[in-house]
Amino acid sequence: MIIDDRAPPWARRIIRAVLEARAPRVARLPFVVRWEQTGEFFSCGQCWFRRNHLTALEVHAGTRRDDQRLTLLHELAHAILPASEGHSLTYWRTCFALYREYRVPLRYALLREGPYRQQALYGAHLAGVSIPDDIHNTIQALWKKPVLPGSQEVRYAARKPK
Ligand SMILES: [Zn+2]
């Protein structure tokens, strides 16, 4: 792998540690890590695959460090799983295990990923992350369907403003 000079040292350490621990085969692939600093608040990223082999991992890093770390780990979870997993339940379980291991604030991660993809909270739950009630209810209200197995379907009685 070739890591962009612009990637900060903490990010290089995480990339090497995750790949060595979880996907040494991927670590030996000739993919590139591209890192670019944007002026945005949130970070975003993308993995590129060619015939199921990782060719590039990109991070467009925003200004908030926690969010950079979350984004890098989100992309690394894609990198270490088969491309076909996409944002599957297996994906989210792996992703939240990485968030916990690399100390992404979990409330933040749940609120960031929960509205984004429907199975994120279920995957977090399977990874052993406890889901606070307020976050659970907030995300479930956004999806208008249960986000955890066995959880109550939320009701939408339109409330009149007082
Ligand atoms: Zn993703």
162 Cα–ligand 1 center, Å? 41
Among the listed residues 86, 34, 40, the one whose alpha carbon sits nearest the alpha carbon of residue 62 = 40
Tens-digit pLDDT profile for residues 107-129:
999 999 999 999 999 999 999 99
Q: Where are the domains of the chain?
A: 1-84, 87-146
Region class of 134: left (phi > 0), else alpha (psi between -120 and 50), else beta: alpha
pTM: 0.92
Query: Is residue 154 over pLDDT 70?
Result: no
Ligand 1 center from residue 92 Cα (angstroms): 9
Phi, psi of 33 (to 5 degrees): -105, 120
Q: Does the pLDDT value for residue 55 go beyond 70?
A: yes
Contact 144, 154 (CB under 8 A): yes
CATH architecture of 1-84: 2-Layer Sandwich (3.30)
- pLDDT digits over 3-28, tens only? 999 999 999 999 999 999 999 999 99
Q: Which two tokens stand for residue 38?
A: 């944007």
> How far, in Å, is the centroid of ligand 1 from the Cα of 78?
7
Distance from the alpha carbon of residue 76 to the mean position of ligand 1, in angstroms:
9
